[in-house]
Structure 1
């Protein structure tokens, strides 16, 4: 009888240990890698956002259809900008490693950046050039897009922010 109690106790401990390890592995497998953040700072105001829904390829390049849908999206977190202010854009180091660009009312950067932080003149971000006339105009608000690049294949992730120009 004593032998049965001893072996049953050892069996319970072993079963509990196996259960704890299994539960731990199950919990770890359910964890998702957190999405990267993009940050926009104007003066002392900062807004941070996760990738725009439907615009995160999970580390892979987005399809052409997804890119077309993402480019036309408006919105995102809003920040007010006064004329002449600096707009600072920051990305996670993993995004910087891939390379990234910023698009305002038109292209803003000549080449992708590998830095985690860039600074832009607000006036440049609100500037639009009419392709037919060549004339320049300024928007009152603009969707600022931050795009993580996937080599020469296209964007992997896009973040959207709305910049509103304060008079």
Structure 2
């Protein structure tokens, strides 16, 4: 083997090693996925990553409320009086989570990975107003401790009234 051939092989080996290193560097720069929340009605489910999340750090009530008001694109149809099931990653359940509607907390804080709201009529007529065709809900990760005001993430979903 000539010196020229060895030099070419060495350059190719160095180039290949450089390409692999560059690929690993690009992959390591990718954002880590957020924990997921899944909403299920009947046999249909929709799952989403957080709308607002800072790797488990406190984002504060104001930011959580602002995020809960953002409209979701992930949606599911909900027939009247159907059971709404919510599943969260264990990381979310460890802190605690609550169901919010239109930026307002409507349940206490749960520390379960799964909760079902039996026969809930989310689309009931409200004080003489017709039932909405679309409702936006949020799952908000918040600390259950009585003295805590820690909010760590918000997952938004669009519920469509199947009976409208």
Structure 2 Cα separation of the partners of residues 150 and 5 of structure 1? 66
What is the aligned counterpart of 1:155 among 151, 154, 161? Answer: 151
Conservation of the 8 A alpha-carbon contact between 1:95 and 1:148: yes
2:114 pairs with 1:117: yes
RMSD: 3.4
Indicate conservation of the 8 Å contact 1:108/1:124, yes or no. no
SS of residue paired to 1:73:
coil
Separation (CA, whole Å) in 1 of partners of 2:158 and 2:9: 62
- Give the number of the structure whose alpha-carbon radius of gyration is greater: 1
Residues 27-72 of structure 1: per-residue CA shift (max 9 Å, x gap): 33222212332211111221222222xx222322214442232233
| Displacement after TM superposition at 1:145 (Å) | 1.0
- Which structure 1 residue ranges, 5 or more long, are not aligned? 130-134
1:80 and 1:163 in contact (8 A); partners too: yes
What SS class does the counterpart of residue 74 from structure 1 fall into?
coil
Residue 139 of structure 2 aligns with which residue? 146
**Aligned position for 1:99:** 96
Secondary structure in 2 matching 1:8: helix
For the structure 1 residues 77 and 112, does the alpha-carbon distance in structure 2 shift closer, same or farther, using more than 3 Å as the test?
Answer: same
TM, length-normalised to structure 2: 0.71
State the aligned residue count: 157
Identify if the C-alpha distance between structure 1 residues 16 and 59 changes in structure 2 by more than 3 Å, giving closer, same or farther.
Answer: same
SS in 2 for 1:123: coil
TM-score (norm 1): 0.70
Q: Is the 8 A contact 2:93 2:110 kept in 1?
A: no
Deviation at 1:88, TM superposition (A): 0.5
